[in-house]
Amino acid sequence: MRVGAVIVKSAVFGILAAVSLAATGASADPVRDWHDLARVHDQVVNAIQEMERARAANHYDMAGHGARAEDLLRRAERQLRLAIEAAKASR
């Protein structure tokens, strides 16, 4: 396995773990301030951009794992966007 692939896999795992942890914490208590969700949303958008760069740097050769990780990040971004809208609407 190439060193670059290991780094990318580690980065993807770290990003997904952080997003998962943030989402778990956000869903554990009622949302009182949508700004918290907006910060997480911004981090996920940044992660998508980093994933796009990482995939391009590896010539998209990650046995489909990079594409799957990017898809999951895009799904997380959409859910966070919807959560922000719902939190704003409930005020």
Beta strands in the chain (DSSP E): none
Nearest to 76 by CA among 51, 52, 48, 49: 48
- What pLDDT score does 58 carry? 83
- What pLDDT score does 60 carry? 81
pTM reported for the whole predicted model: 0.64
For the chain, the domains span: 3-89
Whole-angstrom distance, CA of residue 12 vs CA of residue 31: 27
Whole-angstrom distance, CA of residue 32 vs CA of residue 47: 25
DSSP 62: S
Residue 24 has pLDDT above 80, yes or no: no
Per residue in 39-85, pLDDT (tens digit) is 999 999 999 999 999 889 888 878 888 889 999 999 999 999 999 99
What is the amino acid identity at position 4?
A: G
